[in-house]
Amino acid sequence: MLFGDRVSKNIRKLMKKLPRDDNKKYEKDREKRLIIAELTQSEDRRVIEALHRFINLRKSNELESGFPGSKSDIILAIHALVKLGDVSIARKAALSWYSRDTLSGIMLNHRGVSAGTVPKDLLLEQFQMETDSVKFYGNVLNLLGESLSTDNELLQTLVDQINPTPFSKSWPTHREELEAKIRIGYLVKYANRKKVISLIKREVAYWEGHLSKLKTSVKDNNISKEMKELYDMWYYPEESSTTREWARKKWNGLKKLVDMNESYIKEAEKRIARLLKVLKKVE
């Protein structure tokens, strides 16, 4: 069979809807992922068109998945397009890297792509591991290259994400730090100097204003006074047990609020310091 014919056959298989038999869905879904990995080896232009169509069909739920609610095969298709040098998909991926919107956020849950699967093919296993890597994000931005100098939306998005954006509480923070470093390096290398300086200064001004409000609320004399009154009420033996319990709960609630604000203050200070560090690099 000619190579071109094999590409056509794989594309047709990729576009087929999964069977209704639940027992077959898993294997068919895995087969689709393997096909995506295989198609990446081809330089045929039809592959890029087919992968775009596949993503659109999956996003619109016109094409089922063996894993209900799973969008990981979309991420694999995006990875394939990035490997094939598709700039348009790289831009969409960069803009929605941390999006929580399941409709517009094509990079939603891009980490852990291989979760729930047991790859039986070395190519698919390698492909899924590549998609889960920090290097993939670097490839996304490198593909965009100098377009950042004229793409204001992309520039604003990357400046917004100079500080690491937590993916989830359980996700290791070093991953976010590594991706943030990639963004910063890309900004320093390709961004319009005047524009990026203006955007970072605006971001610094926002966080400095936010920090000022937080510090004011922590020093609020009314809160301190109320906490002292509640503390006294809590420990006065003359008060009823019901009143003392009420005062204890109220005091603990205000203490948590103060502690929370102090935590937010540290986070705001950390963000400002990082922004100023990047500003120094681009000035």
Q: What is the pLDDT of residues 20-46, one digit of tens each?
A: 887 788 888 888 889 999 999 888 889
Look at residue 170 and tell me if it is in a domain.
Answer: no
Those residues with Cβ within 8 angstroms of residue 223's Cβ, 6 or more apart along the chain or in another chain: 217, 254, 257, 258
Q: Could you say which of 135, 151, 167 is where a domain stops?
A: 151
7 and 89 part of one domain: yes
pLDDT, average across residues 52-62: 86
Q: Could you report the per-residue pLDDT of 89-145, keeping only the tens digit for each?
A: 999 889 888 764 444 455 655 666 765 566 678 888 888 888 888 899 999 999 999
- Exposure pattern of 69-102 as b/e (b: 16+ CB <10 Å)? ebbbbbbbbbbbbbbbebeebbbbbbbbbbeeee
145 and 208 part of one domain: no
123 and 231 part of one domain: no
Query: pTM of the entire structure?
Result: 0.79
Q: Could you say which of 91, 121, 151 is where a domain stops?
A: 151
pLDDT, average across residues 247-253: 84
Q: Could you report the per-residue pLDDT of 186-237, keeping only the tens digit for each?
A: 999 999 999 999 999 999 999 999 899 888 876 766 777 888 888 888 887 7
23 and 136 part of one domain: yes
Look at residue 254 and tell me if it is in a domain.
Answer: yes
Q: Could you report the per-residue pLDDT of 225-248, keeping only the tens digit for each?
A: 888 888 888 887 777 888 888 888
pLDDT for 49 equals 93
**Host domain of residue 262:** 198-282
Instruction: Flag whether pLDDT at 55 surpasses 70.
Output: yes
Higher pLDDT, 124 or 166: 124
Alpha-carbon span 64 to 29, nearest angstrom: 9
Contact 70, 18 (CB under 8 A): no
pLDDT for 167 equals 54
Q: Could you say which of 96, 126, 151 is where a domain stops?
A: 151
Alpha-carbon span 74 to 72, nearest angstrom: 5
Half-sphere exposure of 27 (CA within 13 A, CB side): 6
Length of the chain measured in residues: 283
What is the residue-averaged pLDDT of the chain? 83
| Domains: count for the chain | 2
- Look up residue 159 and give its amino acid: V
7 and 146 part of one domain: yes
56 and 114 part of one domain: yes
Look at residue 161 and tell me if it is in a domain.
Answer: no
Look at residue 190 and tell me if it is in a domain.
Answer: no
Instruction: Flag whether pLDDT at 69 surpasses 70.
Output: no
Alpha-carbon span 119 to 116, nearest angstrom: 10
What is the CB neighbour count within 10 angstroms for residue 266? 10
122 and 228 part of one domain: no
Give CA 178 to chain center in angstroms: 13
- Look up residue 56 and give its amino acid: N
94 and 209 part of one domain: no
pLDDT for 241 equals 80
Look at residue 192 and tell me if it is in a domain.
Answer: no
pLDDT for 182 equals 94
- Highest mean pLDDT: which of 3-12, 161-170, 271-280? 271-280
12 and 71 part of one domain: yes
pLDDT for 168 equals 55
Instruction: Flag whether pLDDT at 270 surpasses 80.
Output: yes
